A and B are shown apart, each in its own frame.
Chain A
Amino acid sequence: MSSRPLLQVRGVTRRYGPRVGCREVSFELWPGEVLGVVGESGSGKTTLLKCLSAQLVPDAGAIVYDTRDDGPRDIFALSEPRRRLLARTDWGIVHQHPVEGLRMGVSAGANVGERLMAVGARHYGRIRGQALDWLGRVEIPRDRIDDLPRTFSGGMLQRLQIARNLVSRPRLVFMDEPTGSLDVSVQARLLDLLRGLVAELGLSVIVVTHDLAVARLLAHRLMVMRGGAVVEHGLTDQVLDDPQHPYTQLLVASILHP
């Protein structure tokens, strides 16, 4: 593990008029670490994720990212084009609904290849080769490379979105309820795939989920959010097996076991 955090978040606050989205959130994310953000809907998880991934501008606080070339930089102090370049080259964003993260009008192969072209790849044969390779890695049959995403199942679409995000080798990936729109039988396969890829590529991940089982499988550490604030954070199994905050205890006690 490297000697400094990949991401340092300090006092991030975002309001919607009088309503609080997230309030005074601070944490560090280290290279290779998977941080789970859990809480019920309305707890501020998604607002926080959008601030961290520069899709929303916080009202207060700082988000410092360890850039490849210039070291730690406050992402909102960067120029708009530099911030966009960072998001395109160094980050990935996996949305809950794959249609938000995919282009439905172009083929599966183009969806993956496009990301490579965005970071400068120009050689058609090599781009197609890498797209094929990535379809294989996310368990999509290679003969579907020229098919449009709308012919894919929900699980395949989510795996395609993951391939599109990972092909350009980002260092930090944001995931918003990555299994949320999938049938339970399809979730296990996706989780297993994600676990493998994250470990193999040494990715840093911030994953928002309301599903504590998903959090346990994927995350090293957890932050529990309620009413826009972080009420508890720590090692994943510690937070789930010995929750300290009343709200975390309530969440853990509310899980249904089949």
Chain B
Amino acid sequence: MDPAVTIAGLSKQFTLHVQGGVILPVLSGVALTVAPGECVALHGASGTGKSSLLRLVYGNYRCQAGSIVVRHRGESIDIATATPQKILELRRHTIGYVSQFLRVVPRVPAVEVVAEPGRAFGMSRLEAEHRAERLLSRLRIPERLWHLPPATFSGGEQQRINLARGFVVDFPVLLLDEPTAALDADNRRTVVSLIGEAKARGAAILGIFHDAEVREAVADRLIPMRGLSQAA
């Protein structure tokens, strides 16, 4: 089957103009593919560019060279050169991203935060909220919190809100940045099931899993990542 994500020759560096133009190389010549139904884990110490790679695939970072081709509704779209409008379209329909931290919007209750990607995908309000509630209860967010804004939630609760947001739409491509970092054993198991279900329906998953048990349970392949900044 054609890969859902094909990365080739990908290089990323940061030029810090505020600090006298210091150049921080992060990635150089990265190549990998992720097939539908497969979970690929980026593996390496911190500072080796794992999170940066996920952000590049999501269009959150710009690369200096290379291509990031994502299958989107039968088309091949190169994130490295796509217009902002196209990237937003991919984020609505094709790519889900669970970051380590929840960016809270003032006043918006948890259930709506979770339902939002569903609405953007085109679900009815009812369906999006129904799916949101199902995920919130699977991830053990007490019902009394559903209608409160998550700004005051604990780190673990915020991470679960973020996870629910990422799984509310059946995205064909999922980017997971340490999705279980702040979770207890029960919730870790739930996340492992969610990832398993996503793979079973054909999602291509690229993730960072520090927890060895979780990684062994979900990852089909490991991509070793080594630091550039130390080497340079």
Which residues does chain B contribute within 8 Å of A195, judged by CB atoms?
Answer: 105
Chain B, range 1-29, C-beta contacts under 8 Å to A: 14-18
B1 vs chain A, min Cβ distance (A): 30
Contacts of B89 in A (CB 8 A): 1
Complex contacts, A192 vs chain B, CB 8 Å? 105-108
User: In the complex the two chains form, is A235's CB within 8 Å of B106's CB?
Assistant: no
A188 to B89, CA, bound (A): 27
Interface membership of A42, Cβ < 8 A: no
B59 within 8 A of A: yes
Partner of B18, one of A188, A189, A241, A253: A253
Let me know if B84 is at the binding interface, CB within 8 A. yes
> Which A residues between 202 and 258 are near B, CB-CB below 8 angstroms?
217, 220-221, 234-235, 237-238, 241-242, 244-246, 249-250, 253
Separation in Å of the B33 CB from the closest CB of chain A?
Answer: 24
On chain B, the residues within 8 Å of A235 by CB distance are 59-60, 84, 87-88
Majority secondary structure of chain A interface residues (helix, strand, loop or mixed)? helix
Chain B residues with CB under 8 Å of A188's CB are 106-107
A191 within 8 A of B: yes
Given the interface pairs A188-B107, A189-B107, A217-B105, the reply to whether A249 lies near B84 with Cβ below 8 Å is no
Residues of B within 8 A of A1 (CB): 85, 89
CB closest residue in chain B, given A221: B84
Tell me which of B62, B84, B87, B107 contacts A242 (CB under 8 A): B62
Q: Check if B153 is an interface residue, CB within 8 A of chain A.
A: no
Would you call B62 and A220 a contact (CB within 8 A)?
no
A250–B17 CA distance with the chains assembled, in angstroms = 8
Total cross-chain contacts (CB, 8 A)? 50
Q: Pick from A220, A221, A234, A238 the residue with the most CB of B within 10 Å.
A: A238
Does B107 lie within 8 Å of A249, measured CB to CB?
no
Are the CB atoms of B17 and A241 closer together than 8 Å?
no
State which size class the interface on B falls in: 10 to 19
Residue of B nearest to A242 (CB): B61
Q: How far is the CA of A195 from the CA of B85 in the complex (A)?
A: 18
Contacts A188-B106, A217-B105, A253-B18; A238 near B61 (Cβ below 8 A): yes
Instruction: Provide the B85-116 mask, 1 if CB < 8 A to any CB of A, else 0.
Output: 10111000000000000000111100000000
Min CB distance A204 to B, Å, is 12
Which residue from A191, A241, A242 sits with its C-beta under 8 Å from B106?
Answer: A191
In the complex, whether A33 has a CB less than 8 A from a CB of chain B is yes
Q: Are B55 and A241 in contact (CB under 8 A)?
A: yes
The docked-state distance in angstroms from the alpha carbon of A238 to that of B63 is 11
Q: Is A30 in contact with B108, judged by CB distance below 8 angstroms? A: no
Chain B: which residue is nearest A188 at the CB level?
B106
Q: Hey, what's the 0/1 contact readout for A49-89 against B, CB within 8 Å counting as 1?
A: 00000000000000000000000000000000000000000
Does B60 lie within 8 Å of A241, measured CB to CB? Answer: yes
Give the top 5 A-B pairs by smallest Cβ distance, nearest first.
Answer: A188-B106, A246-B17, A235-B84, A242-B61, A192-B107
Chain B interface residues (CB < 8 Å from chain A): 14-18, 55, 59-62, 84-85, 87-89, 105-108
Given contacts A1-B85, A234-B84, 8 further A-B contacts (CB under 8 A): A188-B107, A220-B84, A235-B60, A237-B60, A244-B62, A246-B17, A249-B17, A250-B17
Some 29 contacts from A to B, beta carbons below 8 A apart, are A1-B85, A33-B85, A188-B106, A189-B107, A191-B106, A192-B105, A192-B107, A192-B108, A217-B105, A220-B84, A220-B88, A234-B62, A235-B59, A235-B60, A235-B84, A235-B88, A238-B60, A238-B62, A238-B84, A241-B60, A241-B61, A242-B14, A242-B61, A242-B62, A245-B17, A246-B17, A249-B16, A249-B17, A250-B18
